[in-house]
Amino acid sequence: MMKFLYQKILKPFLFLFSPDLVHTAFVKLGICLIAAPPLRSILRLIYGPPTTSLVVDGIHYSGPILLSAGFDYNAQLAPILWDIGFAGQEVGSVTAQKCLGNPPPNLKRLIRSQSIQVFKGLKNDGVEIIIKRLKELPIPKPFVLGISIAKTNNEACADENEAIADYVTSYRRCFEEKIGDFFTINISCPNAFGGEDFARPDALRKLITSLKSVPSDKPIYFKMPINRPWAEFSQLLNVLEEFKVHGVVIGNLNKDYQSIDFQDELKSTEFRGGLSGKPCQKLSNELIGLTKKHFPRMTIMGCGGVLNVQDAIEKFEAGADLIQMISGMIFNGPHVLGEINKMYQERYVPK
Ligand SMILES: Cc1cc2nc3c(=O)[nH]c(=O)nc-3n(C[C@H](O)[C@H](O)[C@H](O)COP(=O)(O)O)c2cc1C
């Protein structure tokens, strides 16, 4: 029923408006719902929180799906995310200082390619405001809160030392305020000053060495770029292995604009930022498979192009321990979360 309503009525209506506008409206609606417990009960009745039990790196998850970084970048929605079936989320990416982001529009829907072009530029309120907000949010106990940390998107942080100090500031502040169940260090943002400057082995080594000065014992993951050949990708994994980092999120947006199925959806003058959804799927699955084979110790959060139950199965079969998603929820509606939760329970949880 909800599937039908979303596909036939809500989605065609929402897709009449710009994705930036719809996103803002949804965040506002979410905030209103959090303040209205009876409405939240209805939402829970329709969708329902996850009810599985799995443990990854010592953290108990009530389901296998997390909301990926970038949707709730200002940490306003955790209770609602739980109501509709997410077991957790990555807040952010959060930066040490507030970022205004790129001038709008920041998002474009590529409907036939099942993708969103993202040109956000790490817009977020900055770590201090986000910590304060998270302390005040009524986050349900089983909901797992990951904090995605990126470097502030300004010219100063194009300098390596400044950038490292910036990452460490956010990480340290979350540690001091006891915020976050795990951390993900985003080294693959397509829209930041200086580009992917920590997706190089020597710079990555320097970054991890500095992060280690914070005495946190919470799991730490790295969000990986997906447009690297395995030879380069595995060099980054070798560095993570040296430091016994818990694992990786594979991965971030696709920056190869030739990979969209329907080239006419985007003019070459519009190539900027990165692509979510379907264009990420194959690259992400291949890298997950190789990482699982060559670095079996590492936890893998599989992310990129999980649009339906079958896509989720492919991620798990490739080697993912958990999955993260955004685009699937937008293109196919929140009921897809319930379908994946059910499949996971039936297929992967021992009876
Ligand atoms: C609107 C939007 C904003 C995003 N912002 C971030 C971000 O701030 N940090 C990050 O690590 N990834 C960001 N991403 C990438 C997603 O976390 C994810 O890696 C990517 O969308 C692939 O997953 P999907 O196909 O399920 O959407 C963003 C994606 C979208 C769609």
Query: Each residue of 27-54: pLDDT tens digit?
Result: 999 999 999 999 999 999 999 999 999 9
Index of the ligand 1 atom closest to the CA of residue 116: 31
Q: In this predicted structure, what is the pLDDT of residue 272?
A: 80
Question: 280 C-alpha vs ligand 1 centroid, how far in Å?
Answer: 11
Mean pLDDT of 126-136: 97
φ, ψ dihedrals at 226, nearest 5°: -110, 0
Does the pLDDT at position 196 exceed 80?
no
Ligand 1 probe mutation, 74, 99, 188, 253, most atoms within 8 A of CB: 253
Q: Which residues pair with 17 in a beta bridge?
A: none
Count how many Cα atoms sit within 13 Å of the Cα of residue 178 in the half-sphere of its side chain: 1
On the CB side of 344, CA atoms within 13 Å amount to: 28
Distance of CA 112 to the CA centre of its chain: 22
Region 216-244: mean pLDDT is 97
- Name the band, by pLDDT with cuts 50, 70 and 90, for residue 90: very high
Find the residues whose C-beta lies inside 6 A of ligand 1.
Answer: 68-70, 73, 92-93, 107, 116, 118, 120, 122, 148, 186, 189, 223, 252-253, 276-277, 280, 303-306, 325-328
Split at pLDDT 50, 70, 90, the class of 2 is: confident
Mean pLDDT of 82-109: 93
**Cβ neighbourhood burial of 252 (10 Å; 0-12, 13-18, 19+):** buried
Radius of gyration (Cα) for the chain, nearest Å?
Answer: 19
Average pLDDT over residues 203-207: 96
From the number of C-beta atoms within 10 Å of its C-beta (0-12, 13-18, 19+), residue 202 rates as exposed
- CA 118–ligand 1 middle distance (angstroms): 8
Each residue's pLDDT tens digit, 293-337: 999 999 999 999 999 999 999 999 999 999 999 999 999 999 999
Confidence of residue 101 (pLDDT cuts 50, 70, 90): confident
pLDDT band, very low/low/confident/very high, at 191 (cuts 50, 70, 90): low
| pTM more than 0.75 | yes
Q: Read off the pLDDT of each residue in 219-227 and give the average, rounded to a whole number.
A: 97
pLDDT at 194 exceeding the cut of 90: no
Strand partners, 301: 249, 322
CA distance 226 to 239: 17
Residues 139 and 91 sit within 8 Å (Cβ to Cβ) = no
Nearest CA owner, ligand 1 atom 6: 70
Q: What pLDDT sits at residue 269?
A: 74
Spell out the domain ranges in the chain: 2-348
Region 103-131: what's the mean pLDDT? 92
Residue range 187-191: mean pLDDT, rounded: 77
Pick the CATH number of 2-348 from 3.90.1150.10, 3.40.50.1110, 1.10.8.640, 3.20.20.70: 3.20.20.70
Counting ligand 1 atoms within 8 A of each CB, the residue from 77, 223, 276, 330 with the most, and so the one to mutate, is 276
pLDDT recorded at residue 195: 66
Q: Residue with structure tokens 């070459």?
A: 268
The encoded tokens of residue 111 equal 């409907």
Counting beta carbons within 10 angstroms of the beta carbon of residue 14, is it exposed (0 to 12), middle (13 to 18) or buried (19 or more)? middle
Residue with tokens 């685009």: 327
Please give the helix or strand (H or E) that residue 303 lies within, else none. Answer: strand 299-303
For residue 132, what are its two tokens?
Answer: 């304060």
What's the pLDDT at 121? 84
Average pLDDT of the chain is 93
What separation in Å is there between the alpha carbon of 350 and the centre of ligand 1?
32
Q: What is the 3-state secondary structure (H, E, C) of 155-167?
A: CHHHCHHHHHHHH
